[in-house]
Amino acid sequence: MADPKPAADGEFLVDSSLDVQRVTERSTASGAERDLASAEPAVSGTRRARLWFGGHAVSLGWFVPPIALGTAVHAAVLKARAAPDDLPAAVAAAGLATVAALLLWMLARRLNLTQPAAALAVFVFLLSPLALTAHTTPSLENAAAPVLLAGVIVVVDPRRTTRLRMIVGAVVAALLAVVLLLELAASGAPATSSVIGRWWDLDPAILILGAGCSVVALAVARLRPFGVVSLGLVLLALRPGADTPVPAAALWLPLAALLVAATVQAATQAAWEAGFTAVWLEIVAGIFLVAVVGVFIFAAPALAPGYRTLLEGSPGGQPGQPGAVPAPAQSEVAGDAAAAPTPPASAGAPAPGTGDPTAPAAEAGGGQALAGAEALARASLGLQLSTNPQLQLSAEATAELVAGDVDVRSVLALAQLLASTPVAVADFPAVAGEVGAPRRQITISSLGGRSSTGSTAVRNDVSAYFENLAPPLGGAEVASAGDGVLVTFPFGEPVDLLPAGQGP
């Protein structure tokens, strides 16, 4: 090693061989540090995941069960209701409903709802009979609901800029208006029964609670906009001649479920936290909570028919399974739900116009009297059927039904079908060449709120019901028509099905 040489300032320079050794040592140390640093992200990522699950375990405990239960029930309903051709679209609609449920949870938490209240909103949104029907039917509303909910979440988030919230709010309002206008444009002819009546048959509880809580929400500042929109949608369905199908409820259901949970929480907090100077507030909140509990208790039995329509074998799912239709003598002609049984009257009586042409004039007069009496009997049954809230009739169909021009088999078959699902009839067309004979054809424009125009699933449901009816109602043929599904009964009305006391 060379001797060190003094520097200009009196210090000694270090040998270059020592510099190489130190650089090597520093290089080795820095390599080890890099290896340790590269291992830190994996360790910290795992730790972050554990911390996240630990911090959200309670939320997951409230959120996951209703989502899992709702998914299972939706799968069962899809298996029962969806035709093979429509299954992919129905599965997509159910998937959108699950996404909407997740967004509804997020919105509820943004509005400071507790975890139990948010879980209640998700439960009502996914598992009410009206929701199960709407969420398993492909429609524009099902696709729009998650988008609207996501936009509302941005609007109510105070961490976002005011400019962004205003822009998103305008987009949400415009999208809602477009969807409603498209729905109104797609609606059919004026209905004889209100859409609310059809929703009521499926789920009276959600209608009472949703509408009532929407009114109560007007008194809570943070819920007031949601209450206004909810009541607006209800009034839109109540308008004269409304023909809004059941899937349109997909827009209203998130609001109804959210407002039920939010108003219950607000009333509970008001009753618990109000001081002695606000006794009236405690009383009002207590009355509201008792009313909500009462609706759940007394409306629960009324939900059974709504769930029954979703089961396999019912007309709401796969109608008309063999053996599911009662005998005609025990059939129920519905007034508001059903009317009295129709026992046979003039068994063996000849059909109008089948008498001997050489018979005396007295027998001809008797045949005319018989035909008139049978027309009166059909008119009586038709009048009862026309008042059924499940039945939607066009003006022409109503006139034909109450005039006694419709074959008794059509009346009885529709009455049995209406016991479990809403039906819309566009017309009772006459068969070509059968002048003056009872009309033995039915044009069904919708079944269970689903339009039959171009729908294979609705046609299959109608076929499964009518083609499997037991005699003497059996033997009908089903075919697609321009404005729906056409059902045609065989020639020759069995007049022994007319009710007693109406014949000659």
Per-residue model confidence as pLDDT tens for the chain (504 residues) = 455 555 554 444 444 444 545 545 555 555 555 554 444 454 466 777 666 666 666 677 788 888 888 888 888 888 776 666 677 888 888 899 999 999 999 999 999 888 888 998 999 898 888 888 888 877 788 888 999 999 999 999 888 888 998 999 999 999 888 887 876 665 544 443 445 666 776 778 888 888 888 998 898 888 999 999 999 888 877 765 555 555 567 888 999 999 999 998 888 887 776 555 566 566 676 677 677 776 666 666 666 656 665 654 444 333 333 223 333 333 333 333 334 333 333 333 333 344 444 444 444 444 455 555 677 777 788 888 888 888 888 888 888 888 888 888 888 889 888 887 888 888 888 887 777 788 889 899 888 878 877 777 788 888 888 877 877 887 788 888 777 888 988 887 776 666 654 443
Give the per-residue pLDDT at 495.
Answer: 65
Q: Sort 243 into a burial class: Cβ within 10 Å, 0-12 / 13-18 / 19+.
A: buried
Grouping H, G, I as helix, E, B as strand and the rest as coil, residue 425 is: strand
3-state helix, strand, coil in the chain (%, to 5): 60, 5, 30
Angle of helix 249-273 versus helix 279-299 axis, rounded to 10: 140
24: left (phi over 0), alpha (psi -120 to 50) or beta: alpha
Measure the CA–CA gap between 89 and 454, rounded to whole angstroms. 15
Neighbours of 39 (CB within 10 A): 10
* 259 and 226 Cβ atoms separated by less than 8 Å: yes
* 169 and 123 Cβ atoms separated by less than 8 Å: no
* Beta bridge mates, 479: 486
Neighbours of 309 (CB within 10 A): 24
Measure the CA–CA gap between 393 and 89, rounded to whole angstroms. 29
Give the per-residue pLDDT at 276.
Answer: 52
Give the per-residue pLDDT at 415.
Answer: 87
Measure the CA–CA gap between 492 and 459, rounded to whole angstroms. 25
The alpha carbons of the chain give a radius of gyration, in whole angstroms, of: 34
Angle of helix 395-402 versus helix 361-386 axis, rounded to 10: 130
Give the per-residue pLDDT at 490.
Answer: 85
Whole-model pTM above 0.85?
A: no
Element (H, E) at 450: strand 450-451
Angle of helix 162-186 versus helix 140-156 axis, rounded to 10: 160
| Residue whose tokens read 């979703």 | 310
Element (H, E) at 393: strand 391-393
What is the domain partition of the chain in residue ranges?
Answer: 53-308, 328-497
* 440 and 495 Cβ atoms separated by less than 8 Å: no
Neighbours of 162 (CB within 10 A): 8
